Amino acid sequence: MDAEQAREWHVFEQEASRQLRAGEWTLRLSIMPSFSDWTVAGVTFRNQVVVRRWLREEDSCKFATPIERLRHAAALRPTITENARSIDAHAAASILNSLSALRTPLLPEKDSITLDGTGFEVLAQRGGRLHLCWNRLPHEWAPVKTWFDTVWDHLNTLATA
């Protein structure tokens, strides 16, 4: 990818991220690998379970070379799929309340820096806002990852049922 394409890709990637996260969420979980598709799953304030996936690998092929880029429209839009399903208010509250059961420190003892890998994100809103992000999980957050994996699977099952 040349410098011009790299700049365009960066803007394109930011737009994909904005589209994935768009909406009013009570709970939003994100998995963002460095080199493959990004997925966001969560529950909206309207009691909908939503799973969105940016087909990053598919879109990145459009930027493979300057010649390949010319084969596509000048104004590209990220390729994003979505599955959504309404659930009752009790089920939505139950998913968010499962976060309350965690007992873990919010600030890890050590900083962790990674350049590549997979980014994870938790956004929860109810009265306040909690936003956790990590690439390399601090050992103190092991219960968060267990909770994340369980809720992630549950949300994906609900959205495709």
Q: Which tokens is 89 given?
A: 């208010």
Compare 23 and 140 and report the one with higher pLDDT: 23
Q: Which tokens is 155 given?
A: 């949300």
pTM score of the predicted model: 0.88
| pLDDT tens digits, 59-70 | 999 988 888 888
Among the four given CATH numbers 3.40.50.1820, 3.30.1560.10, 3.40.50.300, 3.40.50.12780, the one describing domain 23-56+80-160: 3.30.1560.10
Domain ranges of the chain: 23-56+80-160
Distance CA 9, CA 104 (A): 37
Q: Which helix (H) or strand (E) holds 158?
A: helix 142-160
* Angle in degrees, 0-180, between the axes of helices 89-100 and 142-160, rounded to the nearest 10: 170
| pLDDT tens digits, 8-36 | 989 999 999 999 999 999 999 999 988 89
| pLDDT tens digits, 80-136 | 999 999 999 999 999 988 988 888 877 777 766 655 678 888 999 876 778 887 777
Buried b (16+ CB within 10 A) or exposed e, 122-155: bbbeeeeeeeeebeeebeebeebeebbeebbebb
pLDDT of residue 115: 58
